[in-house]
Amino acid sequence: MIAIARSARLRFAAAGVLVGWLLCCMPGVSLESASAAPQAQSFDFPEMPLKDALARFDALTRMSVFYPSSLVEGRRSHAVSGIYSPREALDVLLEGTGVMAEATAQNAFVLAPLGMTDVRDATTHNSARVADDYHARLQGKVLQALCAMPSLSPGEYRLAMTVQVGENARVGRVRLLDTTGDARRDGAILRRLQGLDVGIAPADTSHPFVLLLVPAECRATSSACAPSPCPATTER
């Protein structure tokens, strides 16, 4: 079970490679230019069960927070009182819980157990660039596969998923971290992506990638609304 807020923007972001629970690389590839940074706001959360605190955080900030229910069971939040940005408030809320938050997009976070850190060496910069390129490739292949079936085309639903690619450059495992709101569509997405040929295998096939699809809106301040990520296609 994953808890999420219900924001109203469309952004398809490759969030990075998961090492265990922790996202070690955060490239931020997007089909839409990033919106302005979230504004600071007033928080007044007493200590409470962590699951309840996250639900209140979701409702107040309209930020997406993804986590397995098992990660928050039995944990209590830290009290939050004062003026904070959503990110700052979430960090305070998680103090002492043994849980940390990693941003996966402008308005989304994934929770992970505290203490799983990314070990980097002198090749980090080049490795990160290569990883970014692969994230973009995988993102494009997944989006192309979904766009090829109008019933699965992104735009009206939100979804987070983990996608693991094997040495044969095909998707070996797909796991939905939440639901699109339609069980049949969820199943169809899994079937569509399972075995998908990405063309190139990642450098490390042992860890999945996190991909995030979030519904979009056109902004009045924009010179033009972002075009649909899916060109006109026929079901096949």
Query: Do 52 and 99 fall within a single domain?
Result: yes
Domain assignment of residue 172, given as a range: 123-213
Please say which residue of 78, 113, 148 terminates a domain.
Answer: 113
Greatest mean pLDDT among 27-41, 105-119, 120-134 = 105-119
Residue 31 covered by a domain: no
- What confidence score (pLDDT) does residue 26 get? 32
Closest CA to 62 of 38, 80, 79, 31: 38
Half-sphere exposure of 77 (CA within 13 A, CB side): 22
List the one residue out of 39, 37, 43, 32 whose CA is nearest residue 9: 32
Residue 128: inside a domain, yes or no? yes
Q: What is the C-alpha to C-alpha distance for residues 44 and 16, in angstroms, rounded to an integer?
A: 32
Amino acid at site 71: L
- Pair 200, 175 in one domain: yes
Q: What is the mean pLDDT of the chain?
A: 73
**Position 210 confidence tier, pLDDT thresholds 50, 70, 90:** confident
* pTM for this entry: 0.52
- pLDDT given for residue 7 in this prediction: 31
